[in-house]
Amino acid sequence: MSLTKVNWAMIDGAPIITVSAYGAIGDGIVDDTAAIQAAIDAANNAGGGTVTFEGKDYLITSSLVMYSAVSLVGVGSGQYPTVANVADPNFIALNKTRILVTSGFPSSTPMLSIVTPNSAEYGLQSVSVQGIMFDCANIANYGIKAVTVKNSFFKDILVFRPTVYGIWEDCLPSSVVGTAQAGASSTITLQATNSSTTDSWYNGLTIATTGGTGSGQTRTISNYVGSTQVATVSSAWSVTPDATTTYLITGVQPAKTNAASQFNTWDQITVWAADNPSTATGWYFNGDNISDVNQCIYDNIKIVVRDGDGVTMQNGDANVFKSINTFNFGATGVGFRLKGNDKNTAQFARHNTIVWCQLTGPGSNGGLIAEGGLESASSANVALCYSTGNTAPLPVIQSGASFWLNVDRMFPYTWYTFTPTVSFETPGDLSVAYTVQNGRYWKVGGVVNFQLSLSFTPTHTTASGDFLILGLPIQPNNLTTGYQVTATNSGSGLTYPAGRTTLTGRVMPGSPNTIKLVASGSNVGITFITSSEMATGGTYIVQIGGSYEAFN
């Protein structure tokens, strides 16, 4: 589009450009893509500047591409409506800047692309986006994609109705090594545990076969399918790779800086992905074993999803999330999923702080899940949050993620429940009938306070060893001697070891989360209650209460 005259305002030499000056209509009907992109390009060609929007609806049919030192400024992102009212004239007339898509918008592309080219010397920097609604209209896969972006600022943004990710933060790929699963004349199936699940992630990169069948060949990857890990190469192999073939993929990162996305600020951001049905994730972070999303701040964040995660972070490092609320109205997904192991087996998540958060997940999923790929206690992630999953109010810590530090809760004196059980060190043929099986707890800082009540009848002939009460909701710290707590017993059958007349409890250190009963007396040492003192067929009522330090 060419115009004979374009009026720019200037502030200290940097232009302020209106999209209307380049022909944008803003009626939600006429395609404004070329006009808006022309305004962005003009700001870029001037060495940086501000592109402004009126409070109108701007229709786009392909991605808008951003550059360093360019700002997009609208009058405000407005509010999201209910699905039934999205076409209401009063909603359309609200004072807001809305960029929206229509049918035919390309798949696997974002509405706003803030992506550093592989050939760049430096990552994109000093980008700013403020006061805009990005309406994906249940058509566009992504609202905003930011890859290798630094020192940038995002405020008052609403990403509305995305189908895959509302906001996608990533970094440029680095080198990847692996052993192929299989090969064909012009494809190679990458190692399942050491390759990206993101479509097109390796497109345009170089793959070299370094060992095994077909060693010594170099090709360019023309297409990559993340769900199958199949990479198509630009020309047929001279020797077809197979499951013995090792490979090296090399990416071209910015030559004079690392490829991480870092030092960015996101403030007053809303993602609405709750249309029914929708499996979209609100906010997605990704990285590889060299570069990741790190040292960014996220404040005043609201994310509403249906059957996807509110936040999925893979390989994030030293980010701070504060005042973040996630709401999940579906049957799957969690409020905040912190994990590693997507692009590379060496991937990790560490030093992230999640503070003053309400994280809601459906059913047993809970609000917060920490999965494999977290680093050691010396670089632990910190959570200060209130999780409201129906049956899992505290974080769910999965195998491979044992170094979670849960510091506090927004409402530390709210009681939550757990279900204690009984056993012996060697259960043998033990069976237990319960008539009372109750536990409750609250946690503040690193201290867990709990109470439990059990009424039960054990039946056994081969059980042996110390009597155990299992099921404490949070792992105790590794204090050598454990934590002494009060305990009482009434009922028939329990005998005390010789010279012992008093019963207490001891929360045992570390994992598993176990309590033992301790018998003591005058001038004699303490001893644990064992199967010998707890006869088969007896009815026991055990009540225990106290506090202990949580593992960190």
3-state SS, one letter per residue, for 54-108: CCCEEEECCCEECCCCEEEECCCCCCCCCHHHCCCHHHHCCCCCEEEECCCCCCC
Regarding pTM above 0.85, the answer is no
546: nearest Cα among 418, 421, 448: 448
Instruction: Kindly state the DSSP code that residue 530 receives in the 8-state scheme.
Output: B
Residue 236 token pair: 């047929």
Burial readout 352-376 (b: 16 or more C-beta within 10 A, e: otherwise): bbbbebbbbbbeebbbbbbbbbbbe
Peptide bond into 277 cis (omega under 30): yes
User: pLDDT tens, 237-268?
Assistant: 999 999 999 999 887 778 788 889 999 999 99
Instruction: Kindly state the DSSP code that residue 546 receives in the 8-state scheme.
Output: E
User: What is residue 419's predicted lDDT score, i.e. its pLDDT?
Assistant: 94
Do residues 311 and 166 lie in contact, with contact meaning Cβ atoms separated by under 8 Å?
no
Taking the CA atoms of 62, 68, 70 and 75 in sequence, report the sign of the dihedral they define. Answer: positive
Q: How many CB atoms lie within 10 A of CB 345?
A: 15
Cα gap 417→302, rounded to integer Å: 28
Residue 54 token pair: 């009126």
User: pLDDT tens, 210-235?
Assistant: 999 999 999 999 999 988 999 999 99
Under-50 pLDDT residues of the chain? 1-5, 345, 364, 373, 375-378, 388-394, 399-411
Greatest Cα pair distance, the chain, in angstroms, is: 104
User: What is residue 258's predicted lDDT score, i.e. its pLDDT?
Assistant: 83
User: What is residue 392's predicted lDDT score, i.e. its pLDDT?
Assistant: 39
DSSP-assigned beta bridge partners for residue 437: 454
Residue 330 token pair: 């579906």
DSSP 194-254: GS--STTTTTT-EEEEEESTTTT-EEEEEEEETTTTEEEESS--SS---TT-EEEEE----
User: What is residue 346's predicted lDDT score, i.e. its pLDDT?
Assistant: 52
Query: What is the β-pairing status of strands 464-470 and 110-115?
Result: unpaired
Helix, strand or coil, per DSSP, at residue 377:
helix
Contacts of 291 (CB under 8 A, 6+ apart): 148, 171, 172, 174, 253, 258, 259, 260
User: What is residue 376's predicted lDDT score, i.e. its pLDDT?
Assistant: 42
Amino acid at 409: R
Cα gap 324→413, rounded to integer Å: 21
